[in-house]
Structure 1
Amino acid sequence: MDESTNVLAWPTSPGHVTVKPLSAKSPCKVWLIRRESDQMYLTLKLSLTMENITSLRQEEVRQSRKYVVDFYGTLPTQFGEGLVMEYCPGGSLADLVSSRSAFALGECVTALAPIAQTLSVMHSQGQRHGDLSPANILLTAKGMPKIIDFQEAASSSQALTGSGTPGFVAPEMQAGAMESQAGEQDVYSLGACLWFLLSGRVPEEELMRPPASVMFPGIPSIIHELLIDSMNPVPQARPTVDQFARTLFASCPAEPIHWEGHVAAEATHLMETIHPTQESGAAHRRSKRARDNAARQRNSGNDESWHSHRLRRTPGAVKLAGAAVLGIMVILGSMLGVNHFRAAEAKEATAPAMAPPADLDCRIMDGAQVPACALNRDTVVSAFLALSRERDKAMGQLAGEKLKRLYTPGAEQLQRDLETIDQLLDLGLGLEGLRTKLTDVVVSARGQGDTVILAATSTQEEYRYVDAEGVTMHTVQAAEPQRIEVEMVLEESGWKIGKVLRR
């Protein structure tokens, strides 16, 4: 079963929750995890030759660690040891170009000059990267580039036949030729990366490639020469990576990489780079022929609005007025239970598929034989929506015993709901019209054991407090939508609500 749908097929490790796969490949080897102690996001990579990577990371590139993805050791999972490293929420340069268009020259300076300096340190120590490409250059939260994927790294005496990313591999690598000087093949890859960032496409083979001056008429001739020299089919004719970095720095002032609107929605809040607002007008894609002169625009954020509960005036009878005051007290207490859910994100299209199943085909009849459909993502979300509806119904009926069947034993939210019911019974009040609308429901993380974390948008619709005769004592206005995260725990009888998580 595909990891994207089988929520219990995700790797787990003590003290961490698994947030999502970071690769579309199946089986996925790269995952986003979150450390529970400090809520720090990390990347977990499975099935690697980690001894070589760790050795390279700690020794060969120690002097330039600022531009190399940090490695934090290993974590045990049910699938074996996994390598834990820094999470770069900006994604790769390849993804960014695919999303927004080619780079301006100033952005290329920011993206590639530090990488060239890092490679210079490696080359001085007789090491090369071996698989440099835009997909292996990531952006940190500050918009700073970092290189990754050193499993192809090797010394200059080792041949790497056929390795590397197509389009960014030096022609001599395909024949397994040795380097006369460490780093010649990395220089070719750097030149190919620069070509890709400026044009938005992978460079063709030499005979099919248009002249740099024709392809990029709006950039300095020094960059034309750099592209030609870097991708020269004769390795000895290429510049060093240090010369590559110096030439880039001399060609144009560095500019912040324009990532707004092109980073994954769930990672945008982690990014720190702020770009100043430029000339107004609709946002547009940069021209490939004049990228370094294109205008930039930053979208302004929406103002936040605040919503408060408003009391409806009631008849002047002392009894009703007193009951209204008590009702306000109940509201203050019940807000912990009635409108407590928070969430993260997903797709509206998910909701129609979440209707609770009419039959019980996915009911777990035997704890040792869990049907596959019980682990399916859609089944978990459907169970959550059904449990939420049952919770609203039980709260409206003031039925504590029904609530207990919806939660895991000792769940904090269950205790709050039961306390709310006790308060309402003591005051002789009931609830009418209680409905919680849940949309954008998604599996946001995998916890320990048989635990899955769901994220959703929760909207509390208008409801009323009524007395024994059904007279409305207080109306609670519909609340603003809010994001929530809720634990779902798989027990022998099926899925139950566990903790309600806050960020």
Structure 2
Amino acid sequence: METSTPPPRVPGWEVLRELGRGGSSTVWLVADAGGTRAALKVPARPAEGPAALLDVEMRAVGDLRHDHVVRPLGVVETDAGPGLLSEYHPGGSLGTLVRAAGPLPLGQAITVLVPMAQALQALHERGVVHGDVSPGNILFTVQGRPALADLGSSRVLGGAEHRLGTPGFSAPELADGGRPGPARHGASAAGPGGLDPAADLYSLAAVGWYALTGRAPSRTASRAPLPMILPEIPREVVELLEAGLDEDPERRPGAEHFAVACYRWAAPEPLDLYPAATPEVARELPTRRRAPAAGKHAGRHRWAMRGGSLALAAALVWGALALLHGDVPQAPSAGASRQATETPPGQPPGEPSGETSAPPEAERVRAAVESLGPARAEALTSLERAQLAAYSLPDSPAFAADAALQEQLADQGLRFEDLRLETRMTGDITHEDPQQASAPMELRIGPYRTVDSSGDTVAAAEGPTVERFTVHLQRTESGWRVRQIEP
């Protein structure tokens, strides 16, 4: 092991090699007696004791379980002082990947940025700001799943003044001493000079600029317009990144808005981690060629399927439902138009029946919402188009989006296994008219696998994941059906 810093000794763990180092710590790859690997971060200054590590990284994450946040495992004692064990992500960092392979195509950038926005949303909802969103702190599993690492710069909103970050990716108000932006997502406002969710969004937009161009963005006054660097870049990309890089924190989007807008740029594409992979890691990458005898394109096909499964998993986990609204032009179905004008016998048109008003109809709406999860899981597992009509209105955005997801699975030879979706109402029903209703809803996605035609697992979601939406339904002859779902 060639390094100027001797490897630490850690009881119960073997130090395998150095993973990287920064100005304040060195990270090592370690393994226990059972072969389980982890990343061990040892601060350069022993004065940073276990309490500081717990207060920052351990307590920042707490009991949060998020597919795109690197989970700290605990503090251990080493002969070089206390160290923090975290999940090991062998696929390297975004910074390493871009330096090795150059700027990412738009689809691959989306595969990185949307999960990072979702991770920030989860942290911000807990009142935690990351403080150093940068290419070096976005790590990948061998399957290409990105995760946000190093919460050592994070702070609870309203905490002590703390200005850290990576040059080129740190919000200007932190360097200039400007005022922080407003509190977002119900969190407390940051104190003067403290971190704020808007600072994380500036950093995320800077990461997006870096992923697409290969360099960090300059400040607004000296920054070249993105279309001058990338002439074919879609206008929506420019608008979102410029909004995130706005000098005024109050004008930056929130993490949830960033995720939704970014997802609409284009179809996510699988990440090719090979250019930055070490020989040891390259052997573990699922993109490697498994059957050379099958022809020169066999390896590429395997890569496309596995990478595509990540996009499918992402669509299911962080927002297939949330992103339905507005993506597909809505045309009223024949059944929907008929239901909008039909009335029970003897009831004047346009007037609700007094006998079937609030309580019975409310129960029918609630039953439709609670049956939505299992019905959708059945449709996405069986891939039968007819199953979509069991919960969604034909010709609606909800129906079209899940039909597209079914087609994507079928085209790639993939299917979900053990998929469990649960939905429940979390508030009151609002009736726009007797034929339409809206209600707040919670979606819980349990652990599941994505498998290929051979039954091999190509992606796994540990879960459970919980997301919240507003569901809009329409009454039909067969009962209430989903028209669209909004975040």
SS in 2 for 1:83: strand
Partner of 1:4: 2
Q: CA RMSD in A?
A: 2.9
In structure 2, the CA distance between the partners of 1:273 and 1:164, relative to structure 1 (3 Å rule), is same
In structure 2, the CA distance between the partners of 1:272 and 1:58, relative to structure 1 (3 Å rule), is farther
Please report how far the alpha carbon of residue 73 of structure 1 lies from its aligned counterpart in structure 2 after TM superposition.
Answer: 1.1
Distance in 2 of aligned mates of 1:187 and 1:89:
26
**How many residues matched?**
277
SS in 2 for 1:66: coil
In structure 2, the CA distance between the partners of 1:276 and 1:214, relative to structure 1 (3 Å rule), is farther
Partner of 1:54: 58
2:247 counterpart letter in structure 1: P
8 Å contact from structure 1 (residues 21, 30) kept in 2: yes
Partner of 1:74: 75
Deviation per CA, 1:126-160, whole angstroms, max 9, x where unpaired?
22111101111000121100011111111332465
The aligned runs of 1:29-428 (5 Å cut-off) are: 29-37=26-34, 39-47=35-43, 49-52=52-55, 53-59=57-63, 62=64, 65-158=66-159, 160=161, 162-179=163-180, 180-181=182-183, 182-273=196-287
1:32 counterpart letter in structure 2: L
In structure 2, the CA distance between the partners of 1:297 and 1:223, relative to structure 1 (3 Å rule), is same
Segments of 5+ residues of structure 2 without an aligned counterpart are 184-195, 304-487
Deviation per CA, 1:399-420, whole angstroms, max 9, x where unpaired?
xxxxxxxxxxxxxxxxxxxxxx
Distance in 2 of aligned mates of 1:272 and 1:221:
34
8 Å contact from structure 2 (residues 93, 138) kept in 1: yes
Deviation per CA, 1:404-459, whole angstroms, max 9, x where unpaired?
xxxxxxxxxxxxxxxxxxxxxxxxxxxxxxxxxxxxxxxxxxxxxxxxxxxxxxxx
Please report how far the alpha carbon of residue 297 of structure 1 lies from its aligned counterpart in structure 2 after TM superposition.
Answer: 6.4
Deviation per CA, 1:84-120, whole angstroms, max 9, x where unpaired?
1111111110010001111011111111101101111
Segments of 5+ residues of structure 1 without an aligned counterpart are 283-295, 301-503
Distance in 2 of aligned mates of 1:41 and 1:10:
16
8 Å contact from structure 2 (residues 132, 166) kept in 1: yes
Please report how far the alpha carbon of residue 83 of structure 1 lies from its aligned counterpart in structure 2 after TM superposition.
Answer: 1.0
Please report how far the alpha carbon of residue 177 of structure 1 lies from its aligned counterpart in structure 2 after TM superposition.
Answer: 3.8
1:4 counterpart letter in structure 2: E
| Bigger radius of gyration among the two | 1
SS in 2 for 1:217: coil
Distance in 1 of aligned mates of 2:172 and 2:240:
18
Q: Quote the sequence identity (%).
A: 31
Please report how far the alpha carbon of residue 35 of structure 1 lies from its aligned counterpart in structure 2 after TM superposition.
Answer: 1.6
1:72 counterpart letter in structure 2: L
Please report how far the alpha carbon of residue 274 of structure 1 lies from its aligned counterpart in structure 2 after TM superposition.
Answer: 5.7
In structure 2, the CA distance between the partners of 1:51 and 1:36, relative to structure 1 (3 Å rule), is same
In structure 2, the CA distance between the partners of 1:80 and 1:120, relative to structure 1 (3 Å rule), is same
Partner of 1:361: none
8 Å contact from structure 1 (residues 132, 190) kept in 2: yes
Distance in 2 of aligned mates of 1:188 and 1:161:
16
Please report how far the alpha carbon of residue 253 of structure 1 lies from its aligned counterpart in structure 2 after TM superposition.
Answer: 0.8
Distance in 1 of aligned mates of 2:290 and 2:238:
30
SS in 2 for 1:116: helix
2:102 counterpart letter in structure 1: S
In structure 2, the CA distance between the partners of 1:28 and 1:55, relative to structure 1 (3 Å rule), is closer
Please report how far the alpha carbon of residue 6 of structure 1 lies from its aligned counterpart in structure 2 after TM superposition.
Answer: 7.4
Please report how far the alpha carbon of residue 275 of structure 1 lies from its aligned counterpart in structure 2 after TM superposition.
Answer: 8.6
